[in-house]
Amino acid sequence: MLKTDYIDVLSIVSSKLYESAAKVMESASRMMPANTFCIANLDSQSTKVIKTFNRSGVILEEGLVINNEESYCALVTEHARGPLIIEDNLTHPLTRDMDATQFVGGCSFLGVPVFKANGEVYGSLCAFDQGYYRYEEKDVQLLLSLSALFTSFLEVEVAFQRLKEAEEINLRMLEEKSNLLTMLNHEVRSPMDGVLSMVSLLNTTERTEEQIVYIDLIEKSGNNLLAIMDHIDHYVQIEAGAELETSPFDIREAVAHVINMHADEAADKGIRLHAQFEISDQLILIGDSAKLHLILSHLVRNAIKCTESGEVAVCIKLISTRDDMVDIAFEVRDTGVGIPALHRKRLFRTFSQVHQDAHAGKYGGVGLGLTICKRLAELMEGTIWLEQSSDEGSLFIFRVALKRLVLQA
């Protein structure tokens, strides 16, 4: 049967996705020179303005509810059924005689529809500008990408409600959990890839300094979303019953790969990221290097995330040898904020965020990284723990016994 914490999982994931989506849409609205950007929800009778972003003058306010016959947003879904551009609302046949035109004043308008996962209309994304900004194709494509992303978030919400109902009647199985998370991964990743592709295209055009900042915000928010989906994907694979694969690998090369993968991330924060080896130069191990890589990657990523200055060091120590087995310890030390003592008991607990109170929003995520590390360590018959933590940094240790490849002379 479904575990109760699985419902809590989807609630956290859904919340994090919407938070990131709001940042993406706010940044996108600022990239477009229009004054006002809004998200509206429509039913058969009325339109409700859910969220607005304004540069200067306020054309629409959040929470505003108007009849559809006086709604520009409804024009997008009821007349255009697709992108609608109005260069001058005072002369356009759809808007010149509307009472709403007197309310908003003379402006240009761009709107695209937002659909639910089942194809029904949810609402629209709209932009208004009193300076009669002439919307370009890139503006239309940007709003369409955001519309596709918003549709995926609506699907997450629907899936969450279905799972809540399923848990109440105890009919869902653990396999369905895995399948659903896999679906969410795909459905969110696809439109987000589209948004990031649009960002890449925008980076090839001439941009103002302000637009460069907003593009960077969109890209970072999008990559954060993809990182969340990567965590979910890893978690699903483990829940589905991951198996160990064994093959020879060079421990130095494996660690170097982790360091190189996170080098840019550390450099962006001005942090020194390096490895220390207290092992033989000729040590070749036999085991699952991919899962070892994943554990170290999560530990290093967490360390960088929680470190504002100083360094993150990965130290590999040979603890003991016995016949063809070696006991190896991987230590990941940082000079970050440390983990509050009261929250350490939540470490390695599924979907738990130990920094959510003291540093709300700063060290975001869905709390899966250490859970994945713990599950993989146990799968490899190893152990992982927090050795020490203070306001001067933290030290995590992963210890495992692996076979050693004995090279013939």
Q: Which domain holds residue 318?
A: 247-404
At position 181, the amino acid (one-letter code) is L
| SS3 assignment for 229-292 | HHHHHHHHHHHCCCCCCCEEEEHHHHHHHHHHHCHHHHHHCCCEEEEEEECCCCCEEEECHHHH
- Tell me, yes or no, whether 409 lies in a domain: no
Quick check: 279 pLDDT over 70? yes
Residues 187 and 336 in one domain: no
Residues 340 and 366 in one domain: yes
Please tell me which residue, 197 or 368, carries the higher pLDDT value.
197
Residues 49 and 195 in one domain: yes
228 band by pLDDT with thresholds 50, 70 and 90: low
Cα(63)–Cα(121) distance, rounded to whole angstroms? 19
Residues 210 and 348 in one domain: no
- Tell me, yes or no, whether 280 lies in a domain: yes
Strands lying side by side in the sheet with 36-42: 65-67, 46-54, 36-42, 121-129, 108-115, 84-86
Of 184, 211, 239, the position where a domain reaches its end is: 239
User: Average pLDDT in the 305-315 region?
Assistant: 93
Residues 230 and 291 in one domain: no
16 band by pLDDT with thresholds 50, 70 and 90: low
According to DSSP, the residues that pair with 49 across neighbouring strands are 40
Please tell me which residue, 183 or 92, carries the higher pLDDT value.
92
Amino acid 30: pLDDT: 73
Residue 181, phi then psi, degrees to nearest 5: -65, -35
Residues 192 and 275 in one domain: no
71 band by pLDDT with thresholds 50, 70 and 90: very high
Residues 31 and 160 in one domain: yes
* Gap between the terminal Cα atoms of the chain: 55
Please state, for a pLDDT cut of 90, what percent of the chain lies above it.
30
What is the dihedral sign for C-alpha 44, 47, 51, 52? Answer: positive
Cα(242)–Cα(245) distance, rounded to whole angstroms? 10
Residues 235 and 251 in one domain: no
- Kindly report the average pLDDT of the chain as a whole number: 80
Helix 369-379 crosses helix 289-305 at what angle (to 10 degrees)? 150
Is 35 in a helix, a strand, or coil?
coil
What total number of domains does the chain contain?
2
Amino acid 112: pLDDT: 93
Residues 225 and 312 in one domain: no
Quick check: 75 pLDDT over 60? yes
pLDDT in tens, 34-63: 888 888 888 889 999 888 888 887 788 888
The tokens for 88 are 């001058």
| Contact present, 36 and 128 (Cβ < 8 Å) | yes
Is 162 in a helix, a strand, or coil?
helix
Cα(400)–Cα(379) distance, rounded to whole angstroms? 10
Quick check: 405 pLDDT over 60? yes
Quick check: 315 pLDDT over 60? yes
Quick check: 292 pLDDT over 60? yes
| 334: nearest Cα among 384, 293, 387, 399 | 387
β-bridge pairing 247-250 and 284-287: antiparallel
The CATH number for 222's domain is 3.30.450.40
Quick check: 355 pLDDT over 60? no
What is the dihedral sign for C-alpha 186, 191, 195, 200? Answer: positive
| Contact present, 42 and 77 (Cβ < 8 Å) | yes
**Cα Dmax for the chain:** 92
Residues 252 and 109 in one domain: no
User: Average pLDDT in the 371-388 region?
Assistant: 87
Residue 200, phi then psi, degrees to nearest 5: -60, -40
366 band by pLDDT with thresholds 50, 70 and 90: very low
